[in-house]
Chain A
């Protein structure tokens, strides 16, 4: 790609002779919100986004899991799915995007198109359908992307205690597991802050080590 790579704060890539005032774009950063269908991803994005969530179509690579069809030849196909996203203006020079990645059970998904360059991921879990989020947990672990798991407490209740959830999902102790309410702005904010703390700790360790 021959596009002008902008330094951290987005240098002007047009000519200096610009007559018209051209607004400088903010530095964009993003978090990915993942989880099974209907688990509250769009609700969570909408609860904290400063704009109504927008929908676009993203290309994802499906890796056929072949769980219940042993004759199926494992293979990859690219498919297009709807993806909801929102944003939060942190400052005039920094904008946080939140991308809700589509998920389905039965298939493993590779969300590389969306997760490349993400600060981290939040996997939303519905305790009534725990297995819907396996793909997302596996994905973030495999890609070594900082992430946390958030149990969406529908109506303030969860079906299992957190130790059971952690055991069932087989997530390691260093992965934060929280309960939140996707409908509450403050609750979504706090869940995202947990993810960012994981990312910050990792960056600090990388720098120290």
Chain B
């Protein structure tokens, strides 16, 4: 008596194997679709924007005539925004991460802060805009200034920076700290001289990625009432300004094709900025990341 009916096995296996291969390629197709969309998006924007992308575009003020318009004020405004966001988020974010990882006791309050941070990361950016509008623009009367927008953006990216800095600090092995204590160093000295230097690459990588989010974010700026069109540069953090995504938004909302092409050129500049920042982040990660 045959225990295994070979013919039946072959008959049954065939469709099963076919389904296996079919779905494998279906899944591959779905993955490939994402890559195609990305390629189409980049390709389309480059083809549309490149003719307008020249030195004059980088150096001109916004204008009603598409051929004279440029992103000088917008790019300048984005840099001003970073002048506020970088120090505020670095100090607050790294400070909070050090507290949570090194000082905080494992109690309800710490858990509460931690849960709170992860929930803040899920709040839509437009809601941060409403907070900034009431708190910074009206209550503190900063107006539609670099400072108001910068502080709003800082609160927006703070959860991301805290979480990534926490991960970087957690990755420093406790033997490092113990060695430092054994030499008689105090806790703060240990953190300042041992833990922070060891976790710096991780902190920097996470911060740069979070800042690149702040550069591209538009919704909070719109809600704050940051002008879409500005023909002068800010001189201090208390001045009005416009930012790169706002300028792109302005050009996108106009019906003429020429302005859409300008928007595409602005997007190329924005994407180039983000790619540079991300490459720096990846370089730092690859160059300095050590496995303990």
Are A and B bound to each other?
no
Residues of A within 8 A of B (CB): none
Q: Which residues of B come within 8 Å of A, CB atoms?
A: none
